[in-house]
Structure 1
Amino acid sequence: MKNYKQLVAMISATFILVFALTGMTTQASTDYYTTNPKIIKTKRAVTYYRDPAKLHPDQKVSANHFAKITKVVTLDGHAPVLKTNTGKYVTANKRFVVKTSGYQNPKQYYQVQYHQIKPHGQVGYTVKRHFEGIKTWYIMRKMGTFTGYDKYNQATYNAVKRFQRRHHLKVTGNVNEQTWLKMGFSKNAWTSIDRYIAPLKAHAWNGRQAHIAAMIHQAYRYMGNPYLVGSSSSPKYGTDCSGLVMQALYAGGINPLPTSSIHHAYPGNEWNSRNLWAAKKFKHIAYAKRQRGDLVFYYQPGTHVIWHVAIYLGHNRVIESWPPRIMVQPIRNSQRSDIAGIVRPFI
C-alpha cells in the first residue's frame, strides 16, 4: 500500500510538472513573438541590449519607437528577443512591442510613402510663354533675355522665333526638344530637370523624427542656391519657396498632390504656397505649438493672401527660398513677418 501511494504521488508530480511546462510553453508562444514581425513599435519604454542574453544594456528608448527586425532569437533559459537591423536586441514580449506596418500619418492626412515618389506631369514638356522654372532659366540665359526673373516673357518668345528662323526650325516661339538641342543643351537635361524627385531618406521602420530629419536634410542641400521662381528640381539648381518645400517633403515621403514639382513650372503655379496652405490633407497647428519640421506660411503684408512658405527648424529659425537665395533666417524678419499659420506634415 505504501509503495502504491508513492507511485501515485510520483505520477501526480510528473503530471503537474508536465502541465506546468506545457503552460509555460503556451504562455511563451502567446506572450512573445516567435516568428519575425518585420517591423515593431514600442508600446512603452524598453531597453536595447548588445547581446541576446540581455546582459549588456545599450540604450533605453521611449514608447512609439520603431525598429526593423531581422530575426527572433531564443537562447536556452531565456525569453525570446528580437534582433534589429542595427545588431541590437530588444524584448519580443508583446506587452512591450507590437507588430506594425511602420510609421504612418492618420488616414485623413497625407500618407507617408515608402516607395520612390514618381514625377507627376509630362516629363519633357515644351516650354511656352508664361512658363517658369529651370528650363525657362536656361532658355532665357541662352537668348540673353534673363534679367533675374525666370518667366518666359514676350522678349524670350521673340528671341526664340528669331533663333528658330536662323536654324531652319519650325518657327513657333516655343521650345520643344528639337529647339532645345539646337540651343546646345543636352537630351538628358531635357527630361532629367522635369523628372527629378528627391530620393526617400526615411524608412517605414523609422519614426517621426527621422522623417523630419530627412525633409530638413534635403532642404539644406539647396543652401546658397539662387531663388528661381517656379523651380523645383535637383539641388544643383535653385528653387522658389514652395519648390524647396515640395522637394523636402518628397525626401520625407510625402507627395502633396495635386501640387507637383513638374507643374510648378507651369503658368499660374508659382504660388503653390497657396495650394499647400489650402490642402485639406495637412494638419494645421496653433502657432504657439510649432515644432521642428512644421511648415510656416506667411501672408502678403496688408492682405490675407498667402505668398510664402518656409520650413521651421526650431529656435525661431526657418530654412527658406527667398530672394536672392536659399538660406536660414529668423521666423520673422523685415521682409516677411505676417504669419498665416503652421502646418504639420508629419503627425
Structure 2
Amino acid sequence: MKKHNKFSIAIIAALMSVSAFSMTAKADESPSASSTAVNIQKSAINKNDYLGTKPKIIRLKHATTLYKDADLTESDHSAKAGYHYLISDLVNNSDQVSVLRTKSGLYIPAKKSLIKSVKAYQNPKGYHQIHYTQVKPYGKVGYNLYRGYEGIKTWKVMHRLGTWAGHNYYNQATYNAVKNFQRKHNLPATGNVNLKTWTKLGFSKKSWYDIDNYIAPLRVQAWQGRKAHIEAMINQAYKYMGKPWLAGCSSSPAYGVDCSGLVMQSLYAAGLSPIPTSSIGHAHPGNEWNSRNLWADKHLKRVPYSQRQRGDLVFYYQPGTHIIWHIAIYLGHNRVIESWPPCVMVQPIVNGQRNVIAGIKRPFI
C-alpha cells in the first residue's frame, strides 16, 4: 500500500510538471500567434478592390456606414445604396487601407465593390466651369458708397434720406444729404457712406455685409445633368418674380434686382460664376451694364438664334444702336423671364419695349 502511494504521487508530480511546461510554452507563443493572426488579416485585404486615385463623386452600390475617422472605428451614420458624395481626398489609414474623405469630413472605405465613381456634369474646357459647391462671393464684401454707386445699399440710403426719385443712383443730392447727416451726428463729413455712417442711419452692421455677400444657394447636385442645372437657374429666377427693377442690384430675393443682376444670381444657383462679372461688383460704377460684360464674355457659348433652347441667355440691342442694354433668360416657347421696369416678369421674347435681339448665349452646354 505504501509503495503504491509513492508511485501515484510520482506520477501526479510528473503530470503537473508537464502541464506547467505546456502553459509556459503557450504563454510564450501567445504574442507571435496574435501577430500572425493580424498579419493574416492584413494579407487578406485585396488591394485590387481599392481605388488608387481620388474620384470627384461616388455613388454607393450598397448600404454602408460613414465614419468620423479614417481608421473607420467611430461610426457616424448609415447611408442607403444610391447615395452620392462629393470627395475631397483619398488617404491611407493606419492599416494602410485606402479611405475616401467626403466634402463633409466623413470617411468611407475606398472599395470598388462598395462604391462607384460617377462623372460630374461639366462644361467643355474654354467655357465657364461648373462649381459643385456654392459659389463664393467675388469682390470686396462691405464696400463703401460713393457718388456713382447703385445697388441695394444705395437704394436704402436714398430712401432713408429722402433723395429717392425712382432711380437708385448715388447722385449729388444724395452726397449732399449724407454730408449734412454726418455733420449733424458728429461724423466726418465726407459725403460717402462707410460702416459708421450706415449704422448711424439706423441700419445694422450685419446688413452692411450680408447685402453684398448674398450668393444664391446651390440648387443642383454635381452628378445631375445639364437639364437639372438649367432648371436650377430658372427656378432661382422665379424667386424674384414681381420684385421691382432696381439698377445695379443683384442680391437676395428679398430685394429688387435688375436684368443682369437677375441672371447672375440665377447662374449662381446652378453653380456657374461668370467671373470677373459678379453680384458684388454690379453696384460699382462701370458695372451698371453687366449685360454688356456678359455679352462680351468669351466663356459663354454663342449659338444661332434659330437654335435657342430653354436656359439660354437672350441679349438685346438698344433700338437704333448696336449697344447691349438688356439680358433675359429664355424659357422656351418664345417666352423669357427678365427684370425690366417695373419688375421681374415673364414676357414674350420680343415685344414693343425691347425688340432688337443681338444674339443668344448658352451658359450650360
- TM range, smaller chain: 0.7 to 0.9
Equivalent residue, structure 1, for 2:29: none
Q: What does the per-residue CA deviation read over 1:204-261, in whole Å, with 9 as the maximum and x for residues that have no partner? A: 1100000001100110000000000000000100110000000000000100001010
Equivalent residue, structure 1, for 2:12: none
Q: For 1:295 and 1:112, how far apart are their aligned partners in 2?
A: 17
Q: Find the partner of 2:59 among 49, 69, 80.
A: 69
Which residue identity is paired with 1:329?
Q
Tell me the C-alpha RMSD between the 2 structures. 2.4
Classify 1:192/1:334 alpha carbon distance in 2 versus 1 (closer, same or farther; 3 Å). same
Q: Find the partner of 2:167 among 128, 135, 149.
A: 149
Q: For 2:157 and 2:301, how far apart are their aligned partners in 1?
A: 39
Q: For 2:55 and 2:242, how far apart are their aligned partners in 1?
A: 38
Equivalent residue, structure 2, for 1:12: none
Q: How far apart are 1:182 and its partner, in Å? A: 0.4
Equivalent residue, structure 1, for 2:210: 192
Normalised to the residue count of structure 2, the TM-score between the two structures is 0.71
Q: For 2:353 and 2:289, how far apart are their aligned partners in 1?
A: 18
Greater C-alpha Rg: 2
Q: Find the partner of 2:83 among 82, 85, 99.
A: 85
Q: For 2:257 and 2:207, how far apart are their aligned partners in 1?
A: 17
Q: How far apart are 1:194 and its partner, in Å? A: 0.3
Which residue identity is paired with 2:331?
L
Identity of aligned residues (%): 64
Aligned pairs, number: 272
Q: Find the partner of 2:327 among 301, 306, 309.
A: 309
Q: Find the partner of 1:231 among 240, 245, 249.
A: 249
Equivalent residue, structure 2, for 1:329: 347
Q: For 1:268 and 1:298, how far apart are their aligned partners in 2?
A: 19
Classify 1:166/1:257 alpha carbon distance in 2 versus 1 (closer, same or farther; 3 Å). same
Which residue identity is paired with 1:69?
R
Equivalent residue, structure 1, for 2:275: 257
Matched, 1:215 2:233: yes
Q: For 2:140 and 2:282, how far apart are their aligned partners in 1?
A: 12
Equivalent residue, structure 2, for 1:138: 156
Q: For 1:267 and 1:256, how far apart are their aligned partners in 2?
A: 18
Classify 1:328/1:68 alpha carbon distance in 2 versus 1 (closer, same or farther; 3 Å). farther
Q: What does the per-residue CA deviation read over 1:7-27, in whole Å, with 9 as the maximum and x for residues that have no partner? A: xxxxxxxxxxxxxxxxxxxxx
Q: How far apart are 1:99 and its partner, in Å? A: 4.5
Q: For 1:205 and 1:70, how far apart are their aligned partners in 2?
A: 13
Matched, 1:297 2:315: yes
Structure 2: stretches of 5+ with no match in the other structure = 1-47, 64-79, 85-115
Structure 1: stretches of 5+ with no match in the other structure = 1-32, 41-66, 74-81, 87-97
SS state of the match for residue 84, structure 1?
A: coil
Is the contact between residue 68 and residue 84 of structure 1 (CA under 8 Å) also seen in structure 2? no
Q: For 2:311 and 2:139, how far apart are their aligned partners in 1?
A: 27
